[in-house]
Amino acid sequence: MPVDNPAHMPVNGVQPTSFVVPLELPVSPAPPSDTSETPLGPRTTPLPGAPDAALAGLGTRGFQGNAKLRDLALGAVPPIVRGAPKNDAVQIAQTALYSLGFIGGTGGCDGRFGPKSEAAIRAFQDSVPIPQTGVLDQATVIALDQAASAQIARLLAETLPVGSKRGQFQIVADLANTAETRVYVLGADGSPVARYLTSPGTRQHPTRGERFTIRRVLPRRPWIPPQSAWAAGLQQVPQGIHNPMGILKLDFGAYAQYLHGIPQGAEADLGRAASHGCLRLSGANILELHERYAECGTEVRINRGPQRSAALRAAFAETGLADRPLDAGRAHMFGYCYGDLGQYQQL
């Protein structure tokens, strides 16, 4: 179950960042609307803008695109308090708090304002610092948006140029032992630089193929049930943090298979065969994998041989590294969910 961080303590060993956020209301430009085609596809997924967002002084697309949050930033409506009906404004704030390290898992980003969300807000307010009201009031909305904006700016500054990763890294999915499945990132010299828990296809729905090249990078896509018996009767799921394929998927261009994220509730199966053919990573790990190592043109190989598997495990053990934590990549989540981060790419 998701665990919030009421005492502003480290989450999975990572101390949430403290923020000193000015509470003035600077005039910010409206969100970009350029979705023109480039050689890599649209610049980003189109998201709703708001003509009065600049008046509210908001800098992130998530906050700009929500009328309730804009009104809160303007001081035009009462604060949102614990026990309020489930709503999108609370979910946007929760997602920002998750990326900033104040909520322990994406399961806590559900739009419900309960005691864990109240504790997370108080911890964030203490870090700014602003009065610890435990509610989404004007000062908190402004400070949270500004903290998220600063985090996104740092992540954008760290973004590697398109095309720079495909020659540096190779992805190997080791499926030799279906009870202990991993995705390795290998450097140009073949040595492991990272390893992630993954869930490949089961015996009934196996992962097919031996070698792929990532053809498309697909952020913020709805889940459309495939024409398969196992999906009969299932309904389309909109894009979002709880989408069955996460907020990002990397298209192999064959067999309708992807390397993709999953919601927190499905993460217990990572490390063993559990999918319908795709390779699953945690919702945060897929973002880190893409941002650091994998893009259009990156080669993905599937290993099923025990000897190669043993060699990969031995080489990884020599590095002294450990499997990446399931929340590695969480800082990118808010920006990816609402369009400040993450671009569509296509070969």
The pLDDT assigned to 272 comes to 97
180 and 283 assigned to the same domain: yes
Which of 158, 187, 209 finishes a domain? 158
CA-to-CA distance for 278 and 12, rounded, in angstroms?
27
Q: pLDDT band at residue 15, thresholds of 50, 70 and 90?
A: very low
CA-to-CA distance for 172 and 85, rounded, in angstroms?
45
Of 2-6, 95-99, 211-215, 285-289, the one with minimum mean pLDDT is: 2-6
Over the chain, what is the mean pLDDT? 87
Question: Mean pLDDT across the stretch 294-313?
Answer: 98
Question: Mean pLDDT across the stretch 108-124?
Answer: 97
Can you read off the two tokens belonging to residue 274? 């559990």
175 and 317 assigned to the same domain: yes
55 and 178 assigned to the same domain: no
Q: pLDDT band at residue 53, thresholds of 50, 70 and 90?
A: low
Residue 345 pairs in a beta bridge with: 217
Expressed as residue numbers, the domain containing 88 is 37-158
Of 10-24, 124-138, 162-176, 303-317, the one with minimum mean pLDDT is: 10-24
Sign of the torsion formed by the C-alpha atoms of 64, 143, 247 and 113:
negative
Question: Mean pLDDT across the stretch 318-341?
Answer: 98
121 and 50 assigned to the same domain: yes
The pLDDT assigned to 32 comes to 37
190 and 135 assigned to the same domain: no
184 and 324 assigned to the same domain: yes
Question: Mean pLDDT across the stretch 27-31?
Answer: 35
206 and 280 assigned to the same domain: yes
Q: How many domains does the chain have?
A: 2
In a domain, 224, yes or no: yes
Which has more pLDDT, 338 or 2?
A: 338
150 and 197 assigned to the same domain: no
In a domain, 297, yes or no: yes
CA-to-CA distance for 335 and 134, rounded, in angstroms?
24
Say if CB 96 and CB 147 are below 8 A apart: yes
Q: How far apart are the first and last CA of the chain?
A: 39
